[in-house]
Amino acid sequence: MKAKKNPELDLRKNSLLYFFVGMTVVLFVTLMALEWKSYDKIIDYDIGQLDPNLLPDEEAPITIQKMELPKPKIITPPKIEIADDDEKIIETVIESNEPNPDTEIAEVDDIEVLKDDIVDEIPFILIENAPVFPGCENEPTEKEKKACFQEMMLKHIKRNFNYPEVAQEMGLQGRVTVVFTVQKDGSIGDVKLRGPHESLEKEAGRIISKLPKMTPGKQRGTAVKVPYAIPITFKLN
């Protein structure tokens, strides 16, 4: 039986050869595309402007300038005026500080010795020997005598306290600050009152006026005035 196709016309006979030939052409075209280079267009007049040899030689013009010297400064001498003589000034005579050997030496008994400067009034908290309230004489230490003084003051206020009727009717209440001074003879003086109403201040003054005479406070053994402050509170039940 005869074949239907001519074997010489069969394209698959040389297919491998055609494949290698095609690959070679493709690689060559790719290589040429990668190696292709292009350059910018060169303009002649641009190059000429950049070439310094093509520029014309020009010389800078020579100019002559005159330098003016600074004008000298004329310094005028100060004008001296002769003033009239002032009044005659009596000069102070500086005396010598050296002792005069002719001065007589005073006797020791004739020289007055100044006493220690003791302040006339010292606060209760700073006094060396505080005023002694009657009944506190037997306290052994100064600290206990001060504590006894304050305790006896509170007892005296409670014992003599009387709420003013006028203040009760008006509904007045508050605190009255009382400051008094134990004098050098132990009496009470210089009473100062400050409160919310005159009626309350008056009652606080009455209570302080009933304080007994005390032993005066002393500083370095000398009697001094001792101010003392205490508040008296008025409160309605």
**Any domain includes 182:** yes
In a domain, 202, yes or no: yes
Q: Residue 153 belongs to a domain with what CATH number?
A: 3.30.1150
**Residue 5 domain-assigned?**
no
Contact 136, 148 (CB under 8 A): yes
DSSP 173: -
User: How would residue 160 be classed by pLDDT, with cut points 50, 70 and 90?
Assistant: very high
Choice between 145 and 35, residue whose per-residue pLDDT is larger: 145
Average pLDDT of the residues in 191-205: 91
Q: Which domain holds residue 206?
A: 142-234
Q: From CA 178, how far away is CA 180, in angstroms rounded? A: 7
DSSP state of 175: E
Give the other-Cβ count within 10 Å of 4's Cβ.
Answer: 5
Q: What angle do CA 170, 175, 180 make, to 5 degrees?
A: 125
Residue 114 lies in a domain: no
What 8-state DSSP symbol labels residue 94?
-
**Residue 128: inside a domain:** no
Cβ-in-10-Å burial (0-12, 13-18, 19+) of 215 comes to middle
Tokens 């002032």, residue located: 86
Tokens of 96: 């010598």
Q: Which residues contact 160 (CB under 8 A, 6 or more apart)?
A: 206, 207, 210
The per-residue pLDDT for range 19-59, each reduced to its tens digit, is 888 889 899 989 888 887 776 665 554 444 555 565 556 66
Q: pTM of whole model > 0.75?
A: no
Cα angle 199, 202, 206 (rounded to 5 degrees) comes to 140
- How far is 230 from 180, CA to CA, in rounded Å? 9
**Dihedral sign of CA atoms 210, 225, 130, 127 in order:** positive
Q: Is residue 59 part of a domain?
A: no
- Is the backbone of residue 221 left (phi > 0), alpha (psi -120 to 50) or beta? left
Q: How many domains does the chain have?
A: 1
Q: Could you read off the pLDDT of 83-139 as tens digits, one per residue?
A: 666 666 666 666 667 767 677 776 766 666 555 555 788 898 888 899 999 989 888
Residue 10, Cβ neighbours under 10 Å: how many?
A: 10
Residue 223: inside a domain, yes or no?
yes
Is 190 a member of any domain?
A: yes
For the ranges 69-83, 180-194, 220-234, the lowest mean pLDDT is seen at 69-83
Question: What is the dihedral sign for C-alpha 146, 151, 154, 155?
Answer: negative
